[in-house]
Chains A and B, each alone.
Chain A
Amino acid sequence: MPPGRGRVAVAVRPDATAPPPGVFSLVMDDQTLALALAQDLDAAFEPLVRTHADRCYSIALRVLGNPHDAEEVAQDALVRAYRALAGYEPGRIRDLRLRPWLATITVNLCRNRARRAVGSTTPLDVATAGGREPAAPRRDGPAAQAEASDDRERLAALLGALPERYRVPVVLRHVSDLTYAEVAEALGRPEGTVKAQVHRGLAMLRGAARDAGLEEVTP
């Protein structure tokens, strides 16, 4: 057990309405944004980036666990989004649900990246927040645990150790604050499946917190 035994609550806020970190003046709601994109992609794309960059980055960071990869994936996802939008009819852009659509692009790029990383010899940057090899989760690796500098990073490390099919829905639902319907759309799975995966993922997370000797405070 690491010194200074911590307590981690795997608590979720289903009603979380607080804006994501990094509030920009250009942040717009998705419907307004989709309408603006349909009218003038080049004028409305910067607001899209300002509104969704944090979300794309957070998904990538919590799915991949590596800030450098996450930045590349988030950038790539937004660039791909622009190129896709440039080829869409205005009607199709207007009807887009941007949050699940961008989540799909981001998650797919994360999967490609994780697949490529298997067998990679890149050393793990364990000193960096949440720096882990996604392909080789070490849920009870003492080094990884000891490196977690605070509760937030402990939780991130535990989350990163979940198998991908649970980790991704949990990240989308509870880190990125998508609705179950949006998570289902983003992952192309039935809503019931997604709910089950999120619940199972949360249960595993709580179990992992217990196994790691972290006291669970609230469900």
Chain B
Amino acid sequence: MTDRAQLTGLAVTSPAALADDVLVEVGLADRVAPLATAIGTLWVAWNGRGVVAVAEAADGPAAAAEHAARYGRRAVLGRTLPRGLASAISRRLAGDRLAPLALDLRGRTPFEIAVWAKALEIPYGEIRPYGWIAAEIGRPRAVRAVGTALGRNPVPLLVPCHRVVRTDGRIGNYSLGGPHNKRAILAAEGLDPDALEDDARRGVRLVGSDTTKICCWPTCRHARRVAPQHRVPFRSLREAATRGYRPCKVCRPVAYEAS
């Protein structure tokens, strides 16, 4: 019998990776791989639908196990991110908001997604208060809920919730390892968190230019262009308005009053 080849004998076992590849591609399993960032190594989980999560972990096996427990899907640990994904992520982290990067946000609420989508509009190296997001998504009274939604952001850094700060101007908390990480990321984007908080403590919420009579959030690129001799600080939009300043159409400061 050994020298007889049968057609049924030509059925073969599929490569070991095939099933995982299929399940990852359709989003029924995720891959996990490390990503070097300004705050150390983070672990990215993704599948064929998009990036699922960015998280801290002690090491790869811990990252995979914690991801699997949180999402109820198998997590396949990889050594590196695929080249296309790595380049899209690095472009995003460098401030290119248009770098195409799909996110897998299945199971999230429309409110959460609206909050995260709005956070994506905040440019690299700029910050906005929670109240701005609430106003922009048409839920001006939902400031606390905005904070909660940002705290649940599964893809920190990719959705830049670190660019959203407390309404009183303090940098505030951060889901990814705590407030020191938030300050470190903002510093890596060229901001000075201490100086921003000092300004806020002195009551500076907005900055205007006495040549254009336009007022902005202090980190708006138009505010930062204003020469020191033309720079006018305001405590509120109302104060700016009474002095004849209109809100910037780019950063759109909202009519909230710091409580």
* Chain A proximity mask over B5-46: 1 for CB below 8 Å, otherwise 0: 111111111110011011101101000000000000000000
CA distance A171 to B9 in the complex (A): 11
Residues of chain B contacted by A177 (CB below 8 angstroms): 8, 11
Please tell me the number of chain A residues within 8 Å of chain B, measured between CB atoms.
49
Whether A22 contacts B10 by the Cβ 8 Å rule is: no
Shortest Cβ gap from A214 to chain B (Å): 9
Whether A176 contacts B11 by the Cβ 8 Å rule is: yes
Q: Kindly state whether residue A13 has any CB partner on chain B within 8 Å.
A: yes
User: Which residue of chain B has its CB nearest to the CB of A60?
Assistant: B14
Shortest Cβ gap from A173 to chain B (Å): 9
User: Which residue of chain A has its CB nearest to the CB of B3?
Assistant: A7
Shortest Cβ gap from A174 to chain B (Å): 4
* Chain B proximity mask over A1-44: 1 for CB below 8 Å, otherwise 0: 00000111111110010101110000000000000000000100
Among the listed B7, B18, B26, which residue makes an inter-chain contact with A175, where contact means beta carbons less than 8 Å apart? B7
Q: Kindly state whether residue A71 has any CB partner on chain B within 8 Å.
A: yes
Please tell me the number of chain B residues within 8 Å of chain A, measured between CB atoms.
22
User: Which residue of chain A has its CB nearest to the CB of B14?
Assistant: A57
Interface stretch (choices A87-95, A115-123, A133-141, A154-162)? A154-162
* Chain B proximity mask over A155-185: 1 for CB below 8 Å, otherwise 0: 1100100000000001100111100000000
Whether A21 contacts B22 by the Cβ 8 Å rule is: no
Residues of chain B contacted by A50 (CB below 8 angstroms): 19
Residues of chain B contacted by A218 (CB below 8 angstroms): 4
Residues of chain B contacted by A55 (CB below 8 angstroms): 11
CA distance A16 to B3 in the complex (A): 19
Q: Kindly state whether residue A109 has any CB partner on chain B within 8 Å.
A: no
Apart from A9-B3, A13-B8, A75-B18, list 10 A-B contacts with CB within 8 A: A9-B6, A11-B6, A53-B19, A57-B12, A58-B14, A82-B22, A152-B9, A155-B5, A155-B7, A218-B4
Which B residues are within 8 Å of any A CB, using their own CB?
Answer: 3-15, 18-19, 21-23, 25-26, 28, 48
Which A residues are within 8 Å of any B CB, using their own CB?
Answer: 6-13, 16, 18, 20-22, 42, 45-46, 49-50, 53-58, 61-62, 67, 71, 74-75, 78-79, 82-83, 150-152, 154-156, 159, 170-171, 174-177, 217-218
7 smallest beta-carbon distances between A and B, as pairs: A57-B14, A151-B5, A22-B13, A174-B7, A155-B5, A9-B4, A21-B13
